[in-house]
A and B are shown apart, each in its own frame.
Chain A
């Protein structure tokens, strides 16, 4: 029967890759595993083949194939709803062609209630769903019985999930399914990662010890080509306000040449800016240019994706929202505007073109400023050397555990011992302590550790060692809160008496007055009012300069790429300019060398300069923006402890800056002390108490742990009485229950995730062995200028800022020309 499947492959004109055949055999042998391969190599069929072949082996005679569709056998998890549609189509293709009595269906938050009901009566043979929807299914007591015939779970795009809380949610669900069916096979699909072994371990959890498993690698290197648009002249003094728009005419020329282009930029705001710019420059293109980012309404996004598949759109301006593995075969060209940030990300984006297995992935890079030229050259080197980022799995998020325990109680109830063992079988909770577990159980049954303080509390009911939920309204509330992991204080935007356009951060909406104009989702809009958690707007003809900002859209420069950048800089210092990018960056780097110096990989440069506004210190650890934020807060805190003073802080991917009124009396030894790794965590915890960081982080935690219920647009009034902001909860707990573990988690998440403490610590450890170079400069340097510009931005209004920064950059340009 194997021939049927191979035959189908042949009719498609494909020849199986060895990694596909390996995966099929492994799956047939009952193994689990992780398949990794670049996009566009046929990962989907590598894991789909297993369950299909298995069924064919069990049903060798076509004549005896059942007429009715087979019951549920495969669960296919995908991180993005947008991917789910495509997946269903890919999975259906062989089913239809071979005439298998299988059904393949979709179940996501968008599936209609009627369709969901129908599915729960009888699941399809293969169900394509998201981690949130699976979690929701587990809240129904009869799911276990309905899942009895399940053989295999496939987790698509595992690299996207593994470093996030949604990954942990997936782990918890898988643990439940394994509990039900110990022989369950689990297969993950992943793009290349720096920590694939760990990713496999996270996927399989404790089962890795008992089940046979393997990592399957496509030993096929996809051909990759990176070219950079070299501008005729390059500004030496880059500032963050620039988004590369100066190169618009050349970019337009590139777009003209190709049928379909994906234009990647780094933030959602930049998508809006570039889209507007393209519209203004080429009004004749009109609807041939579209935009796509995570905050645009799903319908509009899906329409754009559809046009990409059909090849009926000339150019789509987008962010990482199109990074994932949808197959847009008609895409001929990928352009990246602005810093690449990471090696894996550039490979992934390049893979959007030439999606066919043996085609070349090409990416065309557009630098927004001179230092990005260096980054592009560095990315190419890193890819050639095969260096790739790792995704750190999330450890022990108690908010998710609180949510999941309620899910278990609701989905038929649980016995304590057995549930604890099940949860400890996940990678994330393998080290869950008895105290933490006790705390979670107390939290859901009594509301906290102090029994007497919570007389009316009811959520999970305890009878002996059995836990369940018996209140219908608790059940409803819980189901509504599952799956809101990703939303973050967002407000829907809707045209008055018209369509939803997407969502914007509440803080941005809060600043608008009626009549204020802004652009979003590609439209010029006028703000009308807020109505039931929705910002009502009108379309407008007036060009608006205001563009929403979204938090958290900025990825930091990865460690791998940072190292590669430092190597490029070291080459430049020795006079080696070996690529077009480096040749173009040469004048800027020479200015840096002349006015200050280019740091070697073993040198930590500190520049300082006096200006009318105060004294500015620039420190360059090249550790990425997040770690620099932590370092800036930490250094300011430590200096302030010795002699109290106030600082303004800025940071970017290369370094951070401290601005203060008078010079710091710090020599090299004193700086070393300020940058010492000793007492790091203690000092950071001290900083956290004096900043809003932990309080802000608590938002997400409060939502996941089911403290905050964010009403949906038009949600029932009954929920309004139990709405309170996460900030209020944070304050209440901090005051009355300071040992609440969710507070602790907020601090831990800030430290580990937001400030990347591990990277920060490594940076400080390395700094101990580095040569520390303190350089006073007469003026700002190419490295310090962008940090200075950000600082000015915090002080004055936007227009004045732009003027001031432009004036300053012209002045420095003039100085540079003289030199």
Chain B
């Protein structure tokens, strides 16, 4: 059973999707963060074997999201590429073909630390790279989360995750959306990415991402 979560935040309505994206319906804008394309190649270049397929599936998921939502704009909150040694023709060809499928969609990359290291995207991808904070309505788009006065910040970088445990000692760890009053952090979009366990401050809200649903963790469960 698919379950999205609708969240009122910054005076706007956002939908948190289990595909690890945020959908802003009013502006037909889709946000994702940290896909880390080419990460498998970076590893292979260093002599560490990693299956390539994960990136292909990530692109499929992104295509599916764009089609499903009918998004007119895609905002990538940084770390589109993983590293310099991950740049290769095969990957850019795949990306170009994918871009062609969504030629009508406007795409923007807010530069992340990995993007800086990996170098610029080919022009023909038509994904302009901007510096954060990049303003969109009430939102400031950034890669690294940071509070801005008079704005609600959407960011990535952290790869947030949260651990739940039950009385019997069983526990479960999953990527999550993490929202405080002024900063919303998206889970990493890429499936070959690690996660960082979050600690909760009072009034923080955490939404766990499962295979096909997003579930808010109640404050009592989150209390440790």
Check if B137 is an interface residue, CB within 8 A of chain A: no
Check if A794 is an interface residue, CB within 8 A of chain B: yes
**Separation of A453 and B41 alpha carbons in the complex (Å):** 10
Q: Report yes or no: B168 in contact with A454, Cβ–Cβ below 8 A.
A: no
* Stretch from A551-559, A721-729, A754-762 at the B interface: A721-729
Which residues does chain B contribute within 8 Å of A725, judged by CB atoms? 194
Q: List 11 A-B contacts (CB under 8 A).
A: A447-B49, A455-B88, A456-B45, A456-B85, A474-B47, A707-B49, A721-B42, A721-B82, A724-B43, A732-B51, A732-B191
Q: Report yes or no: B54 in contact with A459, Cβ–Cβ below 8 A.
A: no
Known A-B contacts A447-B44, A732-B192; the reply to A454 vs B49 at CB < 8 A is yes
Q: Kindly identify which residue among A454, A709, A724 contacts B192, using a CB–CB cutoff of 8 Å.
A: A724
**Separation of A513 and B201 alpha carbons in the complex (Å):** 12
Q: Report yes or no: A456 in contact with B168, Cβ–Cβ below 8 A.
A: no
**Separation of A736 and B51 alpha carbons in the complex (Å):** 7
Contact code string B80-92 (vs A, CB < 8 Å = 1, else 0): 0011010010100
Which residues does chain A contribute within 8 Å of B46, judged by CB atoms? 473-474, 477, 722
- Nearest A residue (CB) for B47: A459
Known A-B contacts A455-B88, A457-B49, A794-B168; the reply to A732 vs B41 at CB < 8 A is no
Check if B136 is an interface residue, CB within 8 A of chain A: no
**Separation of A446 and B50 alpha carbons in the complex (Å):** 11
A376 to chain B, nearest CB (A): 32
Q: Report yes or no: B47 in contact with A458, Cβ–Cβ below 8 A.
A: yes
Q: Report yes or no: B47 in contact with A453, Cβ–Cβ below 8 A.
A: no
Which residues does chain B contribute within 8 Å of A384, judged by CB atoms? none
Q: Report yes or no: A728 in contact with B192, Cβ–Cβ below 8 A.
A: yes
Contact code string B35-69 (vs A, CB < 8 Å = 1, else 0): 00000011111111111111000000000000000
Which residues does chain A contribute within 8 Å of B117, judged by CB atoms? 721
Check if B2 is an interface residue, CB within 8 A of chain A: no
**Separation of A724 and B85 alpha carbons in the complex (Å):** 16
A423 to chain B, nearest CB (A): 20
**Separation of A565 and B6 alpha carbons in the complex (Å):** 62
Which residues does chain B contribute within 8 Å of A454, judged by CB atoms? 44, 49, 52
B114 to chain A, nearest CB (A): 8
Check if B119 is an interface residue, CB within 8 A of chain A: no
**Separation of A473 and B192 alpha carbons in the complex (Å):** 23
Which residues does chain A contribute within 8 Å of B42, judged by CB atoms? 721-722
Which residues does chain A contribute within 8 Å of B53, judged by CB atoms? 453, 736
Check if A706 is an interface residue, CB within 8 A of chain B: yes
**Separation of A442 and B54 alpha carbons in the complex (Å):** 21
Q: Kindly identify which residue among B48, B167, B192, B193 contacts A707, using a CB–CB cutoff of 8 Å.
A: B48
Give residues 115-132 of B contacting A (CB, 8 Å).
117
- Nearest A residue (CB) for B117: A721
Which residues does chain A contribute within 8 Å of B193, judged by CB atoms? 728
Check if A306 is an interface residue, CB within 8 A of chain B: no
Check if B197 is an interface residue, CB within 8 A of chain A: yes
Check if B169 is an interface residue, CB within 8 A of chain A: yes
Interface contacts (Cβ under 8 Å), in number, total 85
Known A-B contacts A458-B47, A474-B46, A477-B47; the reply to A453 vs B52 at CB < 8 A is yes
Q: Kindly identify which residue among B50, B85, B90, B197 contacts A455, using a CB–CB cutoff of 8 Å.
A: B90
- Nearest B residue (CB) for A736: B51
Which residues does chain A contribute within 8 Å of B85, judged by CB atoms? 456
Which residues does chain A contribute within 8 Å of B47, judged by CB atoms? 457-459, 471, 474, 477-478, 706
Q: Report yes or no: B88 in contact with A795, Cβ–Cβ below 8 A.
A: no
B220 to chain A, nearest CB (A): 15
- Nearest A residue (CB) for B42: A721
Q: Kindly identify which residue among A646, A706, A795 contacts B48, using a CB–CB cutoff of 8 Å.
A: A706
Apart from the given pairs A456-B85, A721-B117, A728-B194, 12 other A-B contacts in the complex at a CB distance below 8 Å = A447-B50, A453-B53, A455-B41, A455-B44, A457-B47, A471-B47, A478-B47, A707-B49, A721-B82, A724-B194, A728-B193, A795-B167
Give residues 434-454 of A contacting B (CB, 8 Å).
443, 446-448, 453-454
Known A-B contacts A456-B41, A722-B43, A724-B192; the reply to A736 vs B54 at CB < 8 A is yes
Give residues 82-107 of B contacting A (CB, 8 Å).
82-83, 85, 88, 90
Which residues does chain A contribute within 8 Å of B114, judged by CB atoms? 721
**Residue in A447, A474, A723 whose Cβ sees the most chain B Cβ within 10 Å:** A447
- Nearest A residue (CB) for B118: A721
Q: Report yes or no: A458 in contact with B44, Cβ–Cβ below 8 A.
A: yes
- Nearest B residue (CB) for A650: B169
Known A-B contacts A443-B49, A454-B44, A721-B83; the reply to A732 vs B194 at CB < 8 A is no
Check if A302 is an interface residue, CB within 8 A of chain B: no
Which residues does chain B contribute within 8 Å of A5, judged by CB atoms? none
**Separation of A794 and B90 alpha carbons in the complex (Å):** 51
Check if A737 is an interface residue, CB within 8 A of chain B: yes
A470 to chain B, nearest CB (A): 12
**Residue in B42, B43, B117, B197 whose Cβ sees the most chain A Cβ within 10 Å:** B43
**Separation of A724 and B41 alpha carbons in the complex (Å):** 13
A769 to chain B, nearest CB (A): 34
Q: Kindly identify which residue among A453, A455, A722, A724 contacts B51, using a CB–CB cutoff of 8 Å.
A: A453
Q: Kindly identify which residue among A443, A453, A456, A706 contacts B88, using a CB–CB cutoff of 8 Å.
A: A456
Q: Report yes or no: A458 in contact with B168, Cβ–Cβ below 8 A.
A: no
Q: Report yes or no: B43 in contact with A733, Cβ–Cβ below 8 A.
A: no
Which residues does chain A contribute within 8 Å of B50, judged by CB atoms? 447, 729, 732
- Nearest A residue (CB) for B173: A727
B171 to chain A, nearest CB (A): 9
A501 to chain B, nearest CB (A): 24
Q: Kindly identify which residue among A457, A473, A510, A737 contacts B44, using a CB–CB cutoff of 8 Å.
A: A457
Which residues does chain B contribute within 8 Å of A709, judged by CB atoms? 48
Q: Report yes or no: B51 in contact with A733, Cβ–Cβ below 8 A.
A: yes
- Nearest B residue (CB) for A455: B90
Check if A326 is an interface residue, CB within 8 A of chain B: no
Which residues does chain B contribute within 8 Å of A736, judged by CB atoms? 51, 53-54
Which residues does chain B contribute within 8 Å of A528, judged by CB atoms? none
Which residues does chain A contribute within 8 Å of B167, judged by CB atoms? 794-795
**Separation of A780 and B221 alpha carbons in the complex (Å):** 32
Contact code string A793-811 (vs B, CB < 8 Å = 1, else 0): 0110000000000000000
Q: Report yes or no: A794 in contact with B169, Cβ–Cβ below 8 A.
A: yes
A729 to chain B, nearest CB (A): 8
Q: Kindly identify which residue among B43, B49, B90, B168 contacts A648, using a CB–CB cutoff of 8 Å.
A: B168
Which residues does chain B contribute within 8 Å of A458, judged by CB atoms? 44-45, 47
**Separation of A723 and B50 alpha carbons in the complex (Å):** 12
Which residues does chain B contribute within 8 Å of A459, judged by CB atoms? 47-49
